[in-house]
Structure formats: structure tokens, C-alpha cells
Amino acid sequence: MPEATGTDDIDGVQIDLISGQRMDGMASMEKIRMILDGVHDGNIVILEEGLTPDEESKLIEVTMAEISPDEFNGIEIETYPKSGPSDSSLLGRIMGNDESTAKLTVIGPANQIETLHKDETLISALVSRN
């Protein structure tokens, strides 16, 4: 079961890696609920297979509804592999032109994932695992 859970240390970051298999059996709103529950707890949620465009649109909508001052600022979301500007085939994959291509998706609380951005080794570890 490719699901990893970090520790609950005060200064630790929990990472939930959710397999495509587990997501397959879930309804769209269940997926969104699971993602946002994780993010509300301060976790980084990694989806092995990402979301459909329709689910992404609902994720934005529900995220907006849950933003509240000094508590929750929203999410940061990234999909990998990230394309270079001139690589149109890769971009096509991210754009979802090829529905079958899984896109690893990382979602986290907006106020914390910035730290993740800066951590180059964590991002490259994610990319190489795919």
C-alpha cells in the first residue's frame, strides 16, 4: 500500500501519499474532502494520479468556501512532471490532453508549501520517484 504517514512531531510535516488505486473507488466530493481535511491538518497531500479537470474546478470552489482569516489561507497545488515552456508534449500531458497520463499532484496549505517550494531536494525526489 503506497501510503506514507509522517510522525506527529510538533515541527514535523506529515505527508499523505494517496495511491491511484485508493482514489479510483472514491466519489469526486470524497476525494476533495479527503484532500482538504489533510491540508487543514497542515499535511502535504500527494496524489499518485491527480484529479480530473472537473474535480480540480470543484477543489478550487470548496477551498474558497473554507478560507478563513488567520486560520486557513487556501492551498498551493503543483503537478509533476513540470514542463519547460518549449516542451509542448510534456505540457500537453499536464494540460490533461492525454487523460490516461497520471500526473503526480502535490497539494498543501498555502502558508506552508512555500517552504516545500524552496526545498529543492524534496521536489527532485518527487520527480525522480515518478
**Which segment (11-19, 29-37, 82-90, 119-127) binds another protein by CB under 8 A?**
82-90
Question: 43: left (phi > 0), else alpha (psi -120 to 50), else beta?
Answer: beta
Binding status of residue 64 toward another protein by CB under 8 A: yes
Look at residues 10, 31, 14 and name the one whose alpha carbon lies nearest to residue 22: 31
Min separation Cβ 96 and another protein, Å: 4
Contact in structure between 66 and 36 (CB atoms under 8 Å): yes
Query: What is the C-alpha separation between 107 and 87, in angstroms, rounded?
Result: 24
Q: Binding another protein by CB under 8 A: which of 19, 56, 90, 102?
A: 56
Binding status of residue 79 toward another protein by CB under 8 A: yes
Q: Which amino acid is at 49?
A: E
> Which positions lie near another protein, rule CB under 8 A?
52-54, 56-58, 60-61, 63-65, 67, 69, 73-79, 83, 85-86, 88, 91-92, 94-97, 110-111
